[in-house]
Amino acid sequence: MRYNPDPAVNYDYQSMAQLKNKSEFNVAAAELLFKNYCYSSVPHPAYYSCLQLMKHFLCHKVNIDYNTQVDEIKQNGGKSHKYYIEEIYYAIIDRKNTHEAGKFLRNIQDLKALREEADYANVLIDPSKAQSSIDRAKYTIDFLKKIFK
């Protein structure tokens, strides 16, 4: 049996976009890690839940298919995270306004910095930083879902 992060939702695993599905599982994983006191591991799935959803929305709402995304990343030096963040940023500007795009950019950059600190720095990630990662991920996901509904 597959773990369902939201029992109220009836998932169709065969037709659901897999990156969107992975995004939801990564948020659930971050929360599970937090509940089990694995604070240093929380920022990684929290951040990637947002990155996966950005990739999904670029394909399904901004109409940049996955192959084109890969090609554009290769053409621009292979910096995939920068590509996804910038493309979503400009898509938000096109749909909403510069102020909202700026809020998104600051939030995702802060979450990325927390993820990099947790993954690469010789530091302890305390409960407040871990919770901040979850909060930022949920905020970003909710925000993106509103913008790209």
Tens digit of each residue's pLDDT (9 = 90 or more) over 53-83: 999 999 999 999 999 999 999 998 999 999 9
pTM: 0.87
Q: How many Å apart are CA 117 and CA 138, to the nearest integer?
A: 19
How far is Cα 111 from Cα 125, in angstroms, rounded to an integer?
13
Is residue 97 predicted with pLDDT exceeding 50? yes
Look at residue 12 in the predicted model and tell me its pLDDT. 41
Whether 30 has a pLDDT exceeding 70, the answer reads yes
